[in-house]
């Protein structure tokens, strides 16, 4: 761990200058308490660095949560082993999953499943309690529940170190969450501008506690976080069902882990109640379980928190980008992606070049940097990968 200044601690051994400068700028905001913690996967973000833990006193910066509110991971450990699926066509599993989980930007369900209908009702009740109408953000939000999206979102089937089969996926609050986030980021920027508040970066605009704008953001943020959690549950139920059809036997879930890595919640640190925004970071209190994915073709990890107080009880959320998407498309080829994905069933398309492992930090180095933050309980290697383009 490196102390960059009295308001910024850093766990990243690989940290470019622009990312470092951005984190320094965010840590200079007057309401940071006690300090900003930079995780091993830190990379450049919007306003605040992705891979940072940002505790704020009596204020929240909406862009420090991010536009994919509640984005995170869900993982299921099954009772099956590699030997149980010998001879089965892995392409069939991928195609079956892709047939029941809408993927890619803007792709939604055509109708609600019974399980999605129950979850939608839960979200409608929660919205009523929060006194807001999600239809005002996205009229089709109910059909977004159970959809993956694109970018670095994925569904995978993997083997662990004992060759046991795991199913896991990465997604968040979809279009409705994005629109909620964008609306409140804009509100914070407009309010700071109207009040003549100096901002070193307009994406560090904030909403102060005890204002109607703050209260509305927190209510809608919590709804979007719950949408993201239920979205992952809905997709995982569908993935499990397709795996059962593929293998011809019911799945016995030995473990199910569902965790956010883009979220805000109230916590107590350094003697004060603060809002902790984890933007690309997971909560890692002692014994708390989480999932830290690598990139396409690399290892992922199931972990338990070490309860590191200095890190504000947090850990990295993944590998962290080294190349922007545009940069990756210029630097790498489809043949290089094929080589990285050798032995893994995936949809072979040029659209995924920006997700090539070389566009990300070395996940093993990230986990080495995080050795005091989490304990690795399982190391996963994927054998089927599903993504939207």
CATH number at residue 353: 3.90.1860.10
- How many whole angstroms separate alpha carbon 333 and alpha carbon 177? 33
Residue 316 near residue 281, CB atoms below 8 Å:
yes
Q: What is the pLDDT of residue 203?
A: 96
Q: How large is the average pLDDT for residues 116-123?
A: 97
- How would you write 124-169 as a 3-class SS string? HHHHHHCCCCHHHCCCCHHHHCCCCECCCCEEEEEECCCCEEEEEE
Instruction: Spell out the residues 6+ positions from residue 233 whose beta carbon is closer than 8 angstroms to its own.
Output: 74, 119, 258
Q: Quick one: pLDDT band at residue 151, thresholds 50, 70, 90?
A: confident
Strand 36-43's sheet: what is its strand order?
2-5, 8-10, 36-43, 50-56, 272-279, 262-269
Q: Is the pLDDT of residue 104 over 90?
A: no
Q: How large is the average pLDDT for residues 137-145?
A: 97
Q: What is the pLDDT of residue 106?
A: 82
Q: How large is the average pLDDT for residues 183-210?
A: 96
**384 Rama sector, left if φ>0, alpha if ψ -120 to 50, beta otherwise:** beta
Domain that holds residue 10: 2-387
Helix axes 212-247, 174-194, angle to 10 degrees: 160
Q: What residues are annotated to the active site?
A: 317
Q: Is the pLDDT of residue 389 over 90?
A: no
Q: pTM (2 decimals)?
A: 0.96
Q: How large is the average pLDDT for residues 285-289?
A: 97
Q: What is the pLDDT of residue 322?
A: 87
Radius of gyration of the chain, Cα coordinates, nearest whole angstrom: 20
Q: Is the pLDDT of residue 100 over 90?
A: yes
Instruction: Spell out the residues 6+ positions from residue 355 whose beta carbon is closer than 8 angstroms to its own.
Output: 151, 152, 295, 296, 328, 337, 387
Residue 59 near residue 217, CB atoms below 8 Å:
no
Q: Is the pLDDT of residue 31 over 90?
A: yes
Domain count, the chain: 1
Bridge partners, residue 273, by sequence: 268
Bridge partners, residue 279, by sequence: 52, 262
Q: Is 75 helix (H, G, I), strand (E, B) or coil?
A: strand
Q: Which of 181-195, 273-287, 348-362 has the lowest mean pLDDT?
A: 348-362
Strand 164-171's sheet: what is its strand order?
255-260, 72-81, 164-171, 154-159, 374-387, 300-305, 289-292
Q: What is the pLDDT of residue 320?
A: 87
HSE value, Cβ hemisphere, 13 Å, CA-based, for 72:
31
Q: How large is the average pLDDT for residues 311-339?
A: 93
- Tokens encoding 46: 């919007």
Q: Which of 169-178, 201-210, 281-290, 322-331 has the lowest mean pLDDT?
A: 322-331
Our measurement of the distance from residue 56's CA atom to the centroid of its chain's CA atoms, rounded to an integer in Å, reads 21
């Amino acid at each position: 761990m490196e102390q960059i200044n009295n308001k910024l601690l850093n766990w990243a051994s690989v940290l470019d200058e622009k990312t470092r400068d951005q984190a320094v700028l965010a840590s200079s905001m007057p309401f940071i308490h006690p300090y900003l913690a930079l995780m091993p996967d830190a990379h450049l973000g919007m306003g605040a660095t992705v891979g940072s833990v940002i505790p704020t006193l009596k204020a929240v910066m909406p862009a420090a949560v991010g536009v994919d509110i509640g984005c995170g991971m869900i993982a299921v450990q099954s009772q099956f082993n590699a030997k149980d699926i010998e001879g089965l066509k892995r392409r069939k599993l991928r195609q079956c999953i892709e047939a029941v989980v809408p993927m890619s930007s803007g792709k939604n369900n055509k109708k609600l499943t019974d399980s999605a209908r129950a979850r939608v009702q839960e979200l409608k009740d929660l919205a009523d309690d929060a006194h807001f109408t999600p239809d005002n953000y996205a009229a089709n939000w109910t059909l977004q529940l159970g959809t993956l999206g694109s970018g670095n979102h994925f569904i995978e089937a993997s083997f662990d170190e004992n060759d046991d089969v795991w199913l896991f996926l990465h997604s968040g609050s979809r279009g409705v969450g994005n629109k909620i986030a964008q609306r409140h980021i804009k509100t914070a920027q407009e309010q700071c501008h109207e009040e003549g508040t100096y901002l070193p970066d307009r994406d560090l605009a904030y909403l102060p506690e005890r204002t109607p704008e703050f209260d509305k953001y927190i209510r809608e943020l919590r709804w979007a976080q719950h949408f993201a959690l239920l979205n992952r549950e809905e997709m995982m139920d569908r993935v499990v069902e397709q795996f059962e059809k593929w293998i011809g036997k019911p799945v016995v879930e030995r473990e199910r882990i569902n965790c956010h890595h883009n979220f805000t919640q109230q916590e107590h640190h350094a003697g004060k109640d603060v809002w902790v925004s984890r933007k690309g970071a997971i909560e890692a209190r002692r014994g708390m379980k989480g999932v830290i994915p690598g990139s396409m073709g690399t290892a992922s990890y199931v972990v338990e928190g070490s309860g590191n107080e200095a890190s504000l009880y947090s850990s990295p959320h993944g590998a962290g980008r080294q190349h922007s998407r545009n940069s990756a498309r210029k630097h790498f080829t489809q043949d290089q992606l094929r080589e990285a994905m050798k032995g893994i069933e995936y949809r072979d398309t040029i659209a995924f070049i920006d997700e090539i492992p070389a566009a990300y930090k070395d996940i093993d180095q990230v986990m080495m940097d995080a050795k005091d933050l989490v304990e690795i309980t399982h190391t996963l290697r994927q054998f089927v990968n599903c993504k939207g383009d």
